[in-house]
Structures are given as C-alpha cells and as structure tokens.
C-alpha cells in the first residue's frame, strides 16, 4: 500500500525507433491536482494516453489502486479524459454528444445531467448548432463537459485551456479548483508553468520524455522566490537600519557583505535611500525575481545541455 491511486513505474513508450516517454516514475495521490509540464513534443499527451488507457506502454507498469493494469483499465468507477482534441461527433449538437455519453454510462435523468454540465462549462443547451461549426474554445468546453459526465473519480485534462479566451481560462481554473474540493483527483498538462501554478498542488517537469523533476507547490515557490540582493560594506551595520526605518524583518544574511531581503513591500530605491542617509554605502542592489517560466526554461535548458 503506497497511498497512491495512480502509480507509474519505469513507464516507456516507443514508436518505431523513437522513445517518446522514457522510464517515467510518478505517484499521484487522491485529491491532488497533478500538473504535468513540458514543451511541445515532450511526451505529455503520450504519457496521459497511457495513464488513460488509450495506449499501451512499451515497457514499465501502471498501477491503479495498487492493481497492475493490463488490457483492462477499469479500476476507477469513472475516469474522465480530455486528451488532445475533444472526441466529438461533428454532425451532432453539444446536447446530442453529451446524450450519447449519458446513455453509455446508463444514467437516469439524462437531460438533467446534460443541462447541468452545459451550464457548468458555459455552453447553451438550446443551441442546435452542429459541433463541426463550433469555435475551438466551444469545442474545448464541450470536451470538458463530456469528460465530467458521471462525475469521474479521476479527471485527465490535456492542455484544457487550449483555445480558450481569458475569461474561459479563468472559468476553467475556477471549475478545476471546485471539482478538486469535491475530492476529484485531477491530472492536467500544460506548456505554461505560470498557468499550472494557479491550480496544481504538485508538478512534474517532462523533458524529452523524461521526468526531470517533481515538485510540490511549496518547493516550487521556494525555487522561484522573489528577493532583493543588497551588497554593502558591512551587513551587520545595515540590518538595524533596515529594521528600524523600513520595518524589514524578513531577510537572510548571506555573507558579511551580502544580505537578501524578502519583504515584498519595499522597493530597491527605498533601501538605497535609508542606507545612504544613515551612512552605509551601498555597493550594489538588485531585485532577483525568477518567474516560474524562467525557472522552467532554465531547468529544461540545463537538461537539454547535459544531453547534448
């Protein structure tokens, strides 16, 4: 018993001679929002397809609830998938597509479920437009609704915000957080760490088919902290001045000449000003801010280099 509801070990997928996912290991615990981040072609969709039961691994294992998964994947009551393009019948309306899903789950009260889902994703149930005439964002919303049919235990969303407008993005984000509150485990992939960071509780960075790093939300924030790096003649002289005049108490002394200030309410020029006014000369001052995106780029570039 590991407590993980999804566990993959040494999962590898090979197409012809090309290895697209290489020995991936990860554990997903119930109730997590697990973010998978990687560049185009990193293997995100392929990994999710194996977890979702669309593709079989070339080697390695998938365990769901501690059961090794073979040809049959059905250890979950329901698993909602939205991987790559939503699978929709183009000649049917949104309602009809959802209706087929409701039938396949054997749901009673089909129209009630369907209308609730349509409302949840912001689509109009009375709209008779065929799906082939939908905009990309509308298809994406419908794809999310279909994946949610029958309240799945696990929801896999592959780049769910693809094609959505800013309002749609924020709606989907809100929806994901709400669903998660009901205990739903969610796996979500994206190219954009910034976007993922608004929802995910755990992150895996996938690069050239390998998982190069798994971070909790806290670990990631720590790595991407914001700080002001101050270099003075003598750090011990500067500290009391900063504490007294600028009310700074979140700092770290790095060496006897360098200190890092973590308080976000002060600006560089305020620090320079009080220090100079109080007779401490400032050698240099610099705001260090590593955005999530920079961090992601740095990590993947480092990996890329070490591979070349």
Partner 1 sequence: MINLFKMDLHRFKNNKIMYLLLVIFSAFEIFGIFMMKQYEQPMEQGGTSVSSMNASDFIQLVLSQTPSWVLMYVTVFSVYFYMSEYNSGFYKNYISMNNARMYSVISKILILGMFTLLMLVTMVISDLIGRTIFFNNAAIGDWGYFVKLLVGQFLLHWAFSILVLFISIVSRSMITSLVIGVVLALNVPGMVVGALESLVGNINLSSYLLVNTIVSTKDFNNMNDVIHVASVAIIFMLIFSYIAVRYKVKEDLR
Ligand X SMILES: Nc1ncnc2c1ncn2[C@@H]1O[C@H](COP(=O)(O)OP(=O)(O)OP(=O)(O)O)[C@@H](O)[C@H]1O
Q: For residues 126 and 33, give the distance between their C-alpha atoms in angstroms, rounded to a whole number.
A: 33
Q: How far, in Å, are 8, 177, 240, 285 from residue 46 at the CA level?
A: 13, 25, 56, 46
User: Which one of 41, 59, 68, 105 is in contact with partner 1 (CB under 8 A)?
Assistant: 105
Site residues for ligand X, 18-57, by CB under 6 A, read 20, 38, 40-46
Binding mask 43-82 toward Mg ion (x if CB under 5 A, else -) reads --x-------------------------------------
CB of 234 to ligand X, least distance (A): 51
Query: Under the criterion CB under 6 A, does residue 191 sit at the interface with ligand X?
Result: yes
Site residues for partner 1, 35-94, by CB under 8 A, read 49, 52-56, 71-74, 76, 78-79, 81, 83-90
Helix (H) or strand (E) segment spanning residue 120: helix 110-120
Q: Which is nearer to ligand X, 24 or 275 (CB)?
A: 24
Which residues are 28's β-sheet partners?
6
Q: Which is nearer to Mg ion, 48 or 199 (CB)?
A: 48
Q: How many residues bind partner 1 (CB under 8 A)?
A: 34
Q: Which is nearer to ligand X, 43 or 80 (CB)?
A: 43
* Ramachandran angles phi, psi of 94, nearest 5°: -55, -45
CB of 30 to Mg ion, least distance (A): 25
Binding mask 180-219 toward Mg ion (x if CB under 5 A, else -) reads ----------------------------------------
Cα–Cα nearest to 88, from 163, 139, 159: 139
Q: What does 149 bind: ligand X, partner 1, Mg ion, none (CB cut-off 5 to 8 Å by kind)?
A: partner 1
CB of 228 to Mg ion, least distance (A): 39
230, 259 contact by CB (below 8 A): yes
Which residues are 211's β-sheet partners?
206
Q: For residues 223 and 226, give the distance between their C-alpha atoms in angstroms, rounded to a whole number.
A: 9
Which residue do the tokens 């050239």 mark?
A: 208
| Burial class of residue 178 (count of CB atoms within 10 Å of its CB; 0-12, 13-18, 19+) | exposed
| Strand ranges for 141-257 from DSSP E | 154-158, 185-190, 202-207, 210-216, 226-232, 251-253
Q: Is 2 left (phi over 0), alpha (psi -120 to 50) or beta?
A: alpha
CB of 220 to ligand X, least distance (A): 20
Q: Using DSSP, how many helices (H) and how many strands (E) does the chain show?
A: 10, 14
Stretch touching Mg ion by CB under 5 A, among 41-49, 50-58, 248-256, 261-269: 41-49
Q: For residues 105 and 113, give the distance between their C-alpha atoms in angstroms, rounded to a whole number.
A: 12
Q: Which is nearer to ligand X, 211 or 238 (CB)?
A: 211
Q: Which is nearer to ligand X, 15 or 262 (CB)?
A: 15
CB of 104 to partner 1, least distance (A): 4
Q: Which is nearer to ligand X, 45 or 215 (CB)?
A: 45
What residues have CB less than 8 Å from 246, skipping those under 6 apart? 263, 266, 270, 271, 274
Query: Under the criterion CB under 8 A, does residue 99 sit at the interface with partner 1?
Result: yes
| Residues engaged in binding ligand X (CB under 6 A) | 15, 20, 38, 40-46, 191
| Residues engaged in binding partner 1 (CB under 8 A) | 49, 52-56, 71-74, 76, 78-79, 81, 83-90, 96-97, 99-101, 103-106, 146-147, 149
| Residues engaged in binding Mg ion (CB under 5 A) | 45
């Amino acid at each position: 018993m590991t407590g993980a509801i999804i566990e993959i070990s040494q999962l590898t997928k090979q197409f012809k001679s090309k290895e697209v996912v290489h020995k991936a290991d990860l554990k997903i615990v119930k109730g997590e929002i697990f973010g998978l981040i990687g560049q185009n072609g990193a293997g995100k969709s392929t990994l999710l397809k194996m977890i979702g039961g669309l593709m079989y691994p070339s080697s390695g294992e998938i365990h769901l609830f501690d059961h090794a998964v073979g040809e049959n994947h059905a250890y979950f009551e329901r698993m909602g998938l939205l991987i790559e393009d939503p699978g929709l019948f183009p000649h049917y309306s949104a309602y009809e597509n959802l209706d087929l899903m409701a039938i396949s789950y054997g749901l009673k009260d089909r129209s009630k479920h369907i209308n609730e889902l349509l409302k949840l994703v912001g689509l109009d149930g009375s709209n008779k437009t065929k799906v082939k005439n939908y905009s990309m964002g509308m298809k994406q919303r419908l794809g999310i609704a279909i994946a949610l049919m029958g309240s799945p235990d696990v929801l896999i969303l592959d780049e769910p915000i693809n094609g959505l407008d800013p309002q749609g993005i924020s709606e989907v984000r809100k929806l994901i957080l709400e669903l998660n509150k009901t205990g739903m485990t969610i796996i979500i992939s994206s190219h954009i760490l910034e976007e993922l960071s608004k929802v995910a509780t755990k992150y895996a960075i996938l690069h050239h088919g390998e998982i190069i790093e798994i971070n909790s939300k806290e670990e990631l924030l720590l790595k991407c902290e914001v700080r002001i790096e101050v270099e003075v003649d003598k750090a011990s002289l500067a500290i009391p001045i900063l504490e007294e005049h600028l009310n700074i108490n979140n700092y770290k002394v790095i060496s006897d000449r360098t200190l890092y200030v973590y308080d976000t309410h002060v600006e560089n020029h305020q620090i320079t000003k009080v220090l100079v006014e109080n007779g401490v000369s400032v050698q240099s001052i610099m705001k260090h801010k590593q955005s999530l995106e920079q961090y992601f780029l740095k990590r993947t570039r480092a990996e890329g280099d070490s591979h070349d």
